[in-house]
Amino acid sequence: MELSIRLKSIINLMDSCSSIVDVGTDHGYIPIYAVKNGICKTAIASDINSGPLKKAEKNIVNEELKDKIYCRKGGGLSTVSVDEVEALIIAGMGGNLIRDILLEDIEKVKRYEYIILQPAQNPEVLREFLYKNSFEVIDEDICIDEGKFYELFKVKYIEDVKDESKEDTDYEISPYLIKKKHPLILDYIEYKILYYEKIKNYILEDTEAARERKNSVQCILNRLEELRKCLLKS
Ligand SMILES: C[S@@+](CC[C@H](N)C(=O)[O-])C[C@H]1O[C@@H](n2cnc3c(N)ncnc32)[C@H](O)[C@@H]1O
C-alpha cells in the first residue's frame, strides 16, 4: 500500500503508542499503515458515513488486520470512550469541523498523548482555536500534494497554555514554521498572497460591509508581504 505525500506527512508525525483513533477514516489507510508498521498495536477507524466505513472495512480485511483495527460508525469522537486510545488523528475535513469535533468531546481530547490534525481547508481557523485554547504545539508541518498545500498540527492539551498575544493575521502563517525555517514556508506565503489578492479583486461592491472585508483582506496581505520580505532577507 503506497501512501500519498499528504498521508505520509501524518505518519511522519506519529509517535509509537498502544492505540489511536482516526476520525473520518474513509479508506482507513492511516490506521492500516500505522498498525502494519508497528506505530501502534491497535486502532479504531471511525467515520460518520457507512460508505467510507465499508471501504475501510474492505481494506482492513484485505490486509488481514481485522483483529487489530476496529471500525466504528458515528460522528466525531462519539465512537470512542474516555481513555480508550492514546492518540487522535483527524485529517481531510475543514478547520471549522475539526475544531467543532474537538470542542464537542473536549474531556476526551484533554487526555490524548498527542493529536495530529490536517485540515483540508481553513487551517487558520483551527490554528486560532488551538493557540487560544490551551493546546501546546508539539510540531507543525506543511506538505504539498498534487499541487495543494496542507498544514499539519501535532498538539497536546495542556492546561493554561493559552496564547492570546497573536494578531488575527498571525493565524494565517504559522510562527512555529517561520521559526523552524520550513523549506516550504516561502512558497506557502507566496501562494497565500496570490490567493488573497484574488479575493480582494472579487470584492467589487461599494458597501460598508464590503469596505470592511476589503480592509481586513488588505491587513492580511500586508502581514504576508512583511513576512515574505523578512524571509527573503534572512
Ligand atoms: C475527505 S475524507 C478524509 C479521509 C481521510 N481522513 C484522509 O485524510 O484521507 C473525510 C471523511 O470524514 C468523514 N466525516 C465527515 N464528517 C465527519 C464527522 N463529523 N465525524 C466523523 N467522520 C466524518 C466523511 O464521511 C469522510 O469519509
pLDDT of residue 170: 82
Looking at the predicted structure, is the pLDDT value of residue 166 above 90? Answer: no
Q: Which of 105, 143, 124, 164 is nearest to 11 (CA)?
A: 143
Choose between 234 and 74: higher pLDDT.
Answer: 74
pLDDT of residue 1: 77
- Going by C-beta distance under 8 Å and a sequence separation of 6 or more, which residues neighbour residue 56? 25, 26, 27, 28, 31, 45, 47, 71
Task: Name the band, by pLDDT with cuts 50, 70 and 90, for residue 167.
Answer: confident
Residues recorded for the chain: 234
Task: Indicate which residue's Cα is closest to atom 12 of ligand 1.
Answer: 24
Query: If you average pLDDT over residues 66-83, what whole number do you get?
Result: 98
With a pLDDT cut of 70, the percent of the chain lying above it is 99
Q: Distance, CA 116 to ligand 1 centroid (Å)?
A: 14
Looking at the predicted structure, is the pLDDT value of residue 198 above 80? Answer: yes
Q: Give the count of beta carbons closer than 10 Å to the beta carbon of residue 162.
A: 12
Give the pTM: 0.96
Residue whose cell numbers read 501546546? 136
pLDDT of residue 144: 98
Ligand 1 interacting residues, C-beta cut-off 6 A: 23-26, 47-49, 52, 75-76, 91-93, 101
Query: If you average pLDDT over residues 215-224, what whole number do you get?
Result: 94
Could you give phi then psi for residue 123, rounded to 5 degrees?
Answer: -65, -25
Looking at the predicted structure, is the pLDDT value of residue 105 above 80? Answer: yes
pLDDT of residue 160: 75
